[in-house]
Structure 1
Amino acid sequence: MKVLAVDTSSIVASVAVLDDNKLIGEYTVNHKRTHSETLLPMIKELLNACELKTKDIDIFAASIGPGSFTGLRIGVATIKALAHSVDKPVVGIPTIDALAYNLNYCSNLIVPIMDARRDRVYTGMYKWSDNKFEVVKAQDVIEIETLLDELQDREEAIIFNGDGCDVYREIITKKLDSKAVFAPSCVNMPKASSVAQLAFKKAQKNELQSYYDLVPEYLRKSQAEREYEKKNR
């Protein structure tokens, strides 16, 4: 079963191809947010390098959010269009789930954090138990102080990853001290390979979607929506 996955939830653009449990190619660029210009050429180049065509892909997958509103729309729309062109199913993967999955078989509590601005983060809690990836707390958007208050009562070490680490490292360290561990840069950003692996697991359980039904999950209103509501109160 071949899976083509993308993650465009942040400034990072990432594309991967998985063949069952074998990662046969991944292309990741962490430079400027120009997904509308770079994503399709990246997909084409990766497929060519793997000697594959779109028709060879069995499952199409995308990180569906939260994250950049524009980035998510580009990634989801691209996957929907590719799946539609060959009439294949899709799988949507929560961004924070995939970010946590970067830390395979980590013994610590995993807490990804993506900056949602205004002192808020997109986050969730995860752990590996008996070699199984478990969601302790589903992804959500909350204030960083609220998250840290919740984590302060936990006894185990906590490993953070995601772009929120750079933004909130000082406040996290101050609140949690040595209990806080920060992931290295190689697993600190969204990776399409993690999206692909989670999508493959869902496909094995027949948890598939039609390309008509795949939509982003923003978790919060856009700035334009907030300004509109403020203006019309």
Structure 2
Amino acid sequence: MKLFIDTTNWQLCLILIDEENHIVEEFIQRDTKKVSDITMTNIINLLNKHNLKLNQISDFYVTKGPGSYSGVRVGLTIVKTLKTLNDQINVFLIDSLKIQAGNQKCISLLDARSNKWFCSVYDNKKVIKEPFLIDEDTLKELQAEYPDYIIIKDYDHVDFKVYVLNALADFEKIENISDISPIYVKSFI
């Protein structure tokens, strides 16, 4: 079994996927600032609902940021701990802006608070601009630079089930625990 975990952007998204890459169940709780308090409980509840134990999940697919500083750490800490306890599990990482972009030609934005966004530019899964922090004025300049790119913001209209399944091959497999690391974009980090 596979489990997708996204805790990076003020929501909790869990998707349980079977060996044939069919969605077993999706759980999303939006607008939560308590993701660190609810993630493990909801993972266990999801697994219990399907008569599964944590050790029956062989592959963990996790977003690594950018996003909320605490949120980014939650998902990564869970898989880092599980990989430490059982080196046989597989960990796959992807950046949260890329999962949001899907296979579109777009400017992918996630709220970074204070009228700023985490931003990256994609063209059919190809990274045109690596993640960076952008403000309103710079966003207008970026839109002028990429006039035929759509803007996708804060997972609006993103169907995680579809996007995650389409991106499974794009996740990076992590061999060493020390390579499980976040994408932090803010300048003070």
Taking structure 1 as the reference length, the TM-score comes to 0.69
Q: Would you say the 8 A contact 1:202–1:208 is kept in 2?
A: no
Please show how residues 15-34 of structure 1 align to structure 2 within 5 Å.
15-19=14-18, 20-34=20-34
Gap regions ≥5 residues in structure 1? 164-184, 226-233
1:136-191, Cα deviation, whole Å (9 max, x unpaired): 3222222332232122144425232217xxxxxxxxxxxxxxxxxxxxx4428xx4
Q: State, as a whole percentage, how many aligned pairs show the same letter.
A: 24
Distance (Å, rounded) in 2 between the aligned partners of 1:115 and 1:79? 24
Greater relative contact order structure (CA < 8 Å, 6+ sep) = 1
More strand by share: 2
Residue in structure 1 matching 2:158, options 148, 170, 187: 187
Q: 1:210 to 1:25 in 2, by over 3 A?
A: farther
Distance (Å, rounded) in 2 between the aligned partners of 1:70 and 1:155? 34
Q: Does 1:77 align with 2:48?
A: no
Please show how residues 181-220 of structure 1 align to structure 2 within 5 Å.
185-187=156-158, 191=160, 194-195=163-164, 198=167, 200-202=168-170, 207-220=173-186
1:9 matched residue in structure 2:
8
User: Which secondary structure state, in structure 1, belongs to the residue aligned with residue 174 of structure 2?
Assistant: coil
Gap regions ≥5 residues in structure 2? none
Q: Does 1:124 align with 2:120?
A: yes
Distance (Å, rounded) in 2 between the aligned partners of 1:193 and 1:56? 23
CA-based RMSD: 2.7
Q: 1:50 to 1:211 in 2, by over 3 A?
A: farther
Distance (Å, rounded) in 2 between the aligned partners of 1:91 and 1:79? 9
- Residue 123 of structure 1 and its aligned partner are, at CA, apart by 0.9
1:178-227, Cα deviation, whole Å (9 max, x unpaired): xxxxxxx4428xx48745653x3146xx83333342011111244xx6xx
What letter corresponds to residue 201 of structure 1 in structure 2? A
Q: 1:33 to 1:66 in 2, by over 3 A?
A: same
Q: 1:74 to 1:153 in 2, by over 3 A?
A: closer
Q: Does 1:112 align with 2:78?
A: no
Q: Would you say the 8 A contact 1:66–1:219 is kept in 2?
A: yes
Moved more, 118-127 or 32-41: 118-127
